[in-house]
Chain A
Amino acid sequence: MENLGPLSEDGLVCLLNHQGEVLQDPTFSPYASHLTPEKLREFWHDMSVLRAWDMEAMSLQRQGELGLWVQSYGQEAAQIGSGHALRDPDFVFPSYREHGVAMTRGVDLPSILRIFRGLEHGSWDPAEHGFHLYTLVIGAHALHATGYAMGMDRDGLVASGDANKDGAVVCYFGDGATSQGDIAESMTFASVNKAPIVFFCQNNQFAISESVTRQTNIPLADRAKGWGMPSIRVDGNDVIACHAVTQWALEYARAGNGPVFIEALTYRMGAHTTSDDPTRYRTKADEEYWIERDPIARLTAYLDSTGELSDEFREAVAGEGKALGARTRESVRGWSKPATLEMFDHVYAQPHSTLQAERAWFERYEQSFADVEAKN
């Protein structure tokens, strides 16, 4: 068998190419047939608003309002397409760049910035949104996702035939994570337990500065064969294909057939984070090649060609992006530092004598300054 290498674009599932032309796939086109022009406009809306918001967050970091920012720039199709395949009973375990998926799960985007402003480590209730907190230790959450899926199976929430009840887990991670032992162990536990989980790998080609060729010399999707689970390699910048393959995978998992592995080949158009400098390790030509494959541009081209993207709609979406940006700015600048004693909260669910003693001491210590001030 010819070794195609991890960056090969041959054989990717693609339903909308980068010229904006619709392609047919015997397996996956049926999973896109329900996408009405209205639904496609919704995808376009979400991707556009997400990108505008992402740029706003970037500016806030540059202005010193955030300690760090992690852009989703370039990965909008993979995130919005797959996110829209999810239903209420499903549960997501993101890594830390899945702002687009967060959006589809109803997480208020500005609230994500509380983490990056250093106010807390998790800004939403995972159970409320079916969307777990971000995990920064690469790959660690895949085991939680697998255990959660095993729990859903135990709880009878898989293969019952009731569409309102059956669910699955989607676990997002990147190409770098596939080298972590926890990903391998997750795939082992998921396959032997036939857990209802979709491993969704966004191969954005970089683990900070390291090319995916430092992680593998075969397409990442091929790794799934070793665990006996079906895998799909999809054009990660094609929102329609990303949606269709995720829909297929979720149906497979919800029906009790076990795990699926999806590799979405995309490109991190921005830096790893605001602390990174991609000019040190990739070329302008490479970036330009992928700008031509911009996930939003191709959907714009398609909707333009069918006359389904009116000027009024575009303007309304641009206005919404601006309004969200303004609300985000206002929120971020308005967040004040929490009371210092809050750093002692929630370490344990039950009292812990060491922590209680330290908290009490620190409270007296802080109070001693207030007492001095009161005297002066």
Chain B
Amino acid sequence: MIRTDRLAVGIGGHDILRGIDLALPPGRITGLVGESGSGKSMAALAIMGLLPQGMAAEGRVELDGQNLLELPERELCRIRGKRIGMIFQEPMTALNPLMTIGDQVAEVLRIHQGLDRKTAQERARDRLDRVGLAAPRFPLTLYPHELSGGQRQRVAIALAIALRPDLLIADEPTTALDVTTQARILDLLKGLVRDEGMALLLITHDLAVVAGIADHVAVMQRGTIVEEGPTEQVFRQRRHAYTRALFAASTHQPRLVLPPAQPRPLLQVEGAVREYPLPRRGLAAPREILRAVDGVGFRLDAGESVGLVGESGCGKSTLTRAILGLDPLQGGRILLDGQEVRAGRAMAAELRARMQVVFQDPFGSFDPRWRVERLVAEPFHLTGLPRDWREQVAEALYEVGITGDAMRRHIHEFSGGQRQRIAIARALIIKPRLIVLDEAVSALDVRVRAQVLDLLARLRGSHGLAYLFISHDLSVVRQITDRVLVMEKGRIVEAGPTHQVLGQPQHPYTQSLLEATPRIPAAWQAHIPVNGLALSPPAP
């Protein structure tokens, strides 16, 4: 059994982790949850002895009564991969692109057991079969680029468990994956723990994932574990204020301020088709065409909030680009206020000004060299810069809750949540009728996400805005939209009021999406009296 005892990590006299006590017995899944920067990944790297240069660990990491922190590097190499395995968040980059998957799995066996290539390859075959990459569909000679993200994560798991380690550390193993893939990978991990009797330390920011899989949970905040215990008990009791805050944010429902109904179509998409030529397979092969958007039609009324959900590759990003007038359609048309949306210069500035956008990445959304005032004022390009533009920028920033001397600062001086607020201010500045929210809260931590969702709900009421909310995350869509469209393989397979579609899904694809979405059991969500005050339970 592996345990840590008062594990601490510091850099230059500054503490990053303090007093981490974790027991990781065989056959148990321990969830380590916390927001970004809480130190959960650092704890994993400290256990592995792979801390970045300049960081030092103290305390004990015990394996068979031996303190790993005292072992020389040479000894640690014999333990890593053999006694402790680890997988990471980004399956796309976690494997060596120049090496076959067979060789990458076999390498573990060759290093630790000195097997010859052939025997190692045979064992690798066996391990790949175990993680669901069976021959003949997945020969050992495949290269990582020939596999999908989920399949690559399976290869990473195969090589981490190749030698049946005592402990597998999984650092956000499914965060980069679609929900259905996530569900299958989590199932695989669960099965491995059961069959091979190893311990699993699952690091995640997602309470719902932990609720579904972990036996035991530890909540981390600012480098310490603030609460731990059996999962159900921790979730039901929520003794620590931070656990309560995380929990509330995960199940948060913004108060919907419904604007008066306006059955006037604002955005109409009619039979939209968008195609890409694929690279030729062979020299003489005909050029294949990918239909990313295949006859999509829907309508969005003024003041309405509509969700567009689907997994990566379903065509929602392509459709979004067409709606924003960035790419041309090959068929059908898109109307905004009855006028046709066209790509590039063909679309009048006046029409463009009725629609703005907020993107996912709070870091890539702003030119790092511009000051905030210029960033927020950029859409004035469509309307002409008014004389009082600085006042208008200040007002928009005030509305999204950014005050002080923000105007003269650069974007790197703001946090992710603040940047997303500034992005909303930029979208508001020319008073559009429609804001396209492209995964706008996906990159944010739960508590910040809840605040931004509240802000969006409030602005919608006060400005009579319509939202097109594109997301892969059903729970977020549930929180903010009136109607929802479900997209699969370029088509809309189901549409209707959000509560109806997500309550009684009709289409099998919607059903599978919902089934795969991890959720905190409703029974655990009962309200807890705190200091005599009752926190209201989330709306059903």
Q: Do A and B come from one complex?
A: no
Residues of A within 8 A of B (CB): none
Query: Which B residues contact A (CB, under 8 angstroms)?
Result: none
